Amino acid sequence: MRIEYLADHLDWAPQIAGLHYAQWRELLPDWSEKEALEELLSHRNRCAIPTSLIATQGSELVGTVSLVVEDHEELLMYSPWLANLYVVPSWRGRGVGTMLVGNILEEARALGISRLYLYTDGGEGFYLRLGWRLLERVRLAGKDAAVLVFDLPADRQVPVDRLQGFGIHHRPEFHYRWRDDPEDDICTG
């Protein structure tokens, strides 16, 4: 199995948009498959936000996960987010979801992000087992959901010009951090 940046395989984006839309349209009633695709096509970065990883086996798509600045209009008070964790049904229960979460946490750590958020309406138990913790319960589109957090070790504040240089959408109220030791850099881009 390979884990790669969606940025290197944007031809997968239409198929992924269809899967994501089918999975989350009830929770996001104002969202469209077209918007899902546009969002994915904007994930052209490696080592930056927004970005997406895809798991593939041969020519088959197995799963996805993203790192984004904003993930829901009612949850703008938190950032950045793990989003789009999805494993195709026939591959579930084999550790792919766990592996994708681990990989996106490594991406976040490489960016010096100190705290990552996610929201979920059905995967709380999955994430709690992986060390995430409950921040708050929310109602989204009439459904119960939970906001979870994961704290990562981080060292330094990232200079704003560095963020802009790497194409990151900067939200000054959040404290993105950047590891600037190239020897430590796990990003491949």
Total chain residues near ligand COA (CB under 6 A)? 16
Q: One symbol per residue from 159 to 178: x for binding ligand COA (CB under 6 A), - otherwise; what is it?
A: --------------------
Residue 114 is a binding residue for ligand COA (CB under 6 A)? no
**Minimum distance from residue 123 beta carbon to ligand COA (Å):** 3
Bond preceding residue 50 cis, omega within 30 of 0: yes
- What are the distances in angstroms from CA 42 to CA 76, 137, 139, 169, 179? 19, 30, 28, 12, 24
* Residue of this chain nearest to ligand COA (CB atom): 97
List 11, 29, 59, 125, residue binding ligand COA (CB under 6 A): 125
**Out of 50, 80, 97, 112, the residue judged to bind ligand COA by CB under 6 A:** 97
By the 10 Å C-beta count (0-12 exposed, 13-18 middle, 19+ buried), 87 is classed as buried
Which residue of 10, 123, 135, 174 would you call a contact of ligand COA, by CB under 6 A? 123
Whole-angstrom distance, CA of residue 79 vs CA of residue 39: 17
Residue with the two structure tokens 């319960």? 137
Q: Going edge to edge, which strands form the sheet with 51-57?
A: 2-5, 51-57, 60-68, 81-87, 115-120, 143-151, 133-140
Q: Is 105 in the site for ligand COA (CB under 6 A)?
A: no
| Position 23 contacts ligand COA (CB under 6 A) | yes
Cβ burial, residue 172 (10 Å; 0-12/13-18/19+): exposed
Q: Is 54 in the site for ligand COA (CB under 6 A)?
A: no
Counting contacts by CB under 6 A, is residue 29 touching ligand COA?
no
Tokens of 162: 């560095």
Q: Toward ligand COA, which CB reaches closer, 92 or 175?
A: 92
Q: Is 131 in the site for ligand COA (CB under 6 A)?
A: no
Considering only 3-11, 37-45, 96-104, 135-143, which stretch makes contact with ligand COA by CB under 6 A? 96-104
Q: Is 25 in the site for ligand COA (CB under 6 A)?
A: no
Give which of 103, 112, 97, 71 is closest to 188, Cα–Cα. Answer: 103
Which residues are at the interface with ligand COA (CB under 6 A)? 23, 85-87, 92-98, 120, 122-123, 125-126
